[in-house]
Structure 1
Amino acid sequence: MLLTVVICTYHREELLALSLTSLAQQSADPDRYTVLVVDNAGREATRQVAERFSVGYTTKAAVGLSHARNRGLEAAATPWVLYLDDDIQAPPDLLQRFLDRLDTADFAALGGMVRHWFRDPPPRWLRRYYRRPMRPSPQAAFGELAADRYLLGGLLAVRRRAGQKVGGFSARYGMQGRRVGRGDEDEFQVRLRRAGFGVYYDPEIVIDHLVQPYKYTFAGILQLARAAGRDGLGMRGNTKPNRWQVLRRLAIITGYSLPFNLARWLFKPQYYWQNAYLDTLTKYYFLWGQYHAQHTLNSR
């Protein structure tokens, strides 16, 4: 057996069942992979979902996605671990595509691109943010990612020994219960690269990820922007600003981004006032997160 599919979950039995339904329809040989649910809430209802689909089940008492991911890394007995979110829909060939790449892999991490799905029709203004899949890179062919590019955490295969060697995922940067975190998978890949391991991307590997209802709200979107600034220091060119830099960037946002987005609202079709509001405020919130960050990663 080559691969353990690890699904970390927290209070989301209905979504977990939908995800496991899609994994039950895979074309890959079931003798080559296994599925393990890591329950970060320790709920009987979650255990029952895992039993219904005849998949592995374990718990992690310390709340946080990074803790749950590390539990999956610890519990797996296969050479590779594939992390999937509990709100995905997997195409029937997903695991076969991973297995084909991992059979001859000389790298330590592999991912693909993420499309979006909605349980309910989204508001018109939200659609512009999800018109295209999320891609770690514009590269059109399988290969190594550039050093300033990072695989998406909800579709991430890791060589188990490499993950253990670098110490797994850091709870400083990840989701903790309902607290939004935005940087643990990026920071993990930084440490893999520092240790000499390759990080690869295959644009032919695709998964569908649910746009959660909180992302329909202004508060949720702004919270994500602040978390991205706070948790991504040292990654993606994100550095902690000093007070002078904060003032300068506030002036740029207020003097340029605000009037520019207002003009787009007035003159650009299908650009709504909500877009102008969010495209401006997210810059303020991202800067706020950067300035108040507690942890700084030097990725050089």
Structure 2
Amino acid sequence: MPTLNRDNLLKSTIKSLCLQCFSPDRFEILVVDNGSTDNTKDITRAAINEFSPHQIRYIYEPEPGLLSGRHRGALEAKGEILTFVDDDIEADPEWLRAIKESFDDPTVKLVGGRNLPKYEVEPPAWLEWFWTEHPFGKVCVNLSLLDFGDQVREINANYVWGLNFSIRKSALFELGGFHPDCISKHLQHFQGDGETGLTQKANAKGYKAIYQPKALLFHQVLKQRMTYEYFDRRYFYQGVCDSYSEIRRNNSQLILNAPKEGFIETIKRPLRFLKKAANRIVNRQTEQEMLQQRFYKAYQDGYQFHQSAVREKPELLNWILRKDYWDYKLPEFSATHD
């Protein structure tokens, strides 16, 4: 579990991992502190004392970005099954046992689960608009929420999301590990496509991925995430990620305009609800157009920021096109981001 300055959430997250219906001698908990300046270390130390039968380890990793926390954890882990979680989740007591049972099938390489919301405050009505229908259920990509129902099913590996991401260690290394992710604002030009790059390679290799409904966790959705401003930042970030992916896919070729099909995938489908609501709410079509334009601009800004950073600093291509990132130290140059 990589973590950064989330001491207000960390205690409940660790507690939920320690209250699993799974023998504590069969798993370890690695808390990878990614340079926190709050009470993260003290809270982890307190958990180590409170849950002494559990194998909880505190690891300090100062290199910025989620990538460094994930890879440091993978390199330190003793087990053959690796489970990555965010520091703002609470796991159901049956979560870990369900993951282990899924991997009893030797053909399974990745396991994802049901990710449901735990709202800090009553969510605004418009938040429901961003749930997208899927043949298996529904998803809210912007808040990393996914519900594919009660049945175990084989899925596209791209639906194994980073907050609830389990993989055989051998498969993680065969795929080259994760790509850069969750880079702080002043280092945003080093952002990549995170676990998506890895799961795309898993799909290409035909790796079997499973949705396990009992691998249930609750994602804490804070008040500040339920704002248009947060969604602006989320789509800017998506634009950066998609620029990175496009450059890798096209072997270093820059694409001057963000591909609208990528944006349609991430924003247009979640707004389809507006057409259904048009008969109930006056001027809803106008609001649909407003939101689509607003978030597409944020997405386009992120995409263009990344493309411009590569043109400004051509050496950034060496970072983007790396075979893997196990040597995860960031290069020492900057790019402009207003």
Q: Which amino acid aligns with 1:184?
A: G
Native 8 Å contact 2:102 2:108 kept in 1: no
Return the alpha-carbon distance in structure 2 between the equivalents of residues 122 and 196 of structure 1. 39
Native 8 Å contact 2:103 2:109 kept in 1: no
SS in 2 for 1:209: strand
Return the alpha-carbon distance in structure 1 between the equivalents of residues 62 and 26 of structure 2. 29
1:15 corresponding residue in structure 2: 9
- Give matches, 1:17-166, under 5 Å: 17-43=11-37, 45-54=39-48, 55-129=56-130, 134=140, 141-146=151-156, 149-166=158-175
SS in 1 for 2:41: helix
Native 8 Å contact 2:7 2:43 kept in 1: yes
SS in 1 for 2:39: helix
TM-score when normalising by structure 1: 0.76
- Indicate how the Cα distance of structure 1 residues 196 and 10 shifts in structure 2: closer, same or farther if over 3 A, else same: same
Return the alpha-carbon distance in structure 1 between the equivalents of residues 43 and 23 of structure 2. 23
Q: Which amino acid aligns with 2:57?
A: G
Native 8 Å contact 1:116 1:133 kept in 2: no
Native 8 Å contact 1:241 1:291 kept in 2: no
Return the alpha-carbon distance in structure 2 between the equivalents of residues 42 and 159 of structure 1. 29
SS in 2 for 1:188: helix
Aligned pair 1:284/2:297, yes or no? yes
Q: Which amino acid aligns with 1:30?
A: P
Any unmatched runs of 5+ in structure 1?
A: 1-6
Q: Which amino acid aligns with 1:64?
A: G
How many residues are aligned here?
277
Return the alpha-carbon distance in structure 2 between the equivalents of residues 33 and 113 of structure 1. 21
1:227 corresponding residue in structure 2: 237
- Indicate how the Cα distance of structure 1 residues 223 and 274 shifts in structure 2: closer, same or farther if over 3 A, else same: farther
User: What is the Cα deviation at residue 16 of structure 1?
Assistant: 0.6
Which of 159, 177, 198 is the equivalent residue of 1:168? 177
Q: CA RMSD in A?
A: 3.9
Return the alpha-carbon distance in structure 1 between the equivalents of residues 258 and 118 of structure 2. 41
- Indicate how the Cα distance of structure 1 residues 159 and 76 shifts in structure 2: closer, same or farther if over 3 A, else same: same
SS in 1 for 2:108: coil
User: What is the Cα deviation at residue 201 of structure 1?
Assistant: 2.1
- Indicate how the Cα distance of structure 1 residues 73 and 21 shifts in structure 2: closer, same or farther if over 3 A, else same: same
Q: Which amino acid aligns with 1:283?
A: Y
Return the alpha-carbon distance in structure 2 between the equivalents of residues 138 and 72 of structure 1. 28
SS in 1 for 2:161: coil
- Indicate how the Cα distance of structure 1 residues 219 and 111 shifts in structure 2: closer, same or farther if over 3 A, else same: same
- Indicate how the Cα distance of structure 1 residues 99 and 31 shifts in structure 2: closer, same or farther if over 3 A, else same: same
User: What is the Cα deviation at residue 83 of structure 1?
Assistant: 0.6
Q: Compare 8-17 and 26-35 and name the one that shifted more.
A: 26-35
Native 8 Å contact 1:182 1:228 kept in 2: no
- Indicate how the Cα distance of structure 1 residues 128 and 196 shifts in structure 2: closer, same or farther if over 3 A, else same: closer
User: What is the Cα deviation at residue 118 of structure 1?
Assistant: 1.5
User: What is the Cα deviation at residue 43 of structure 1?
Assistant: 4.6
Q: Which amino acid aligns with 1:9?
A: T
Native 8 Å contact 2:121 2:222 kept in 1: no
Q: Which amino acid aligns with 2:13?
A: S
Return the alpha-carbon distance in structure 1 between the equivalents of residues 226 and 259 of structure 2. 31
Residue identity over aligned pairs, in percent, reads: 22
SS in 2 for 1:232: helix
Q: Which amino acid aligns with 1:144?
A: E
User: What is the Cα deviation at residue 128 of structure 1?
Assistant: 4.1
Any unmatched runs of 5+ in structure 2?
A: 49-55, 133-137, 308-316, 322-338
TM-score when normalising by structure 2: 0.68
Return the alpha-carbon distance in structure 2 between the equivalents of residues 25 and 272 of structure 1. 47
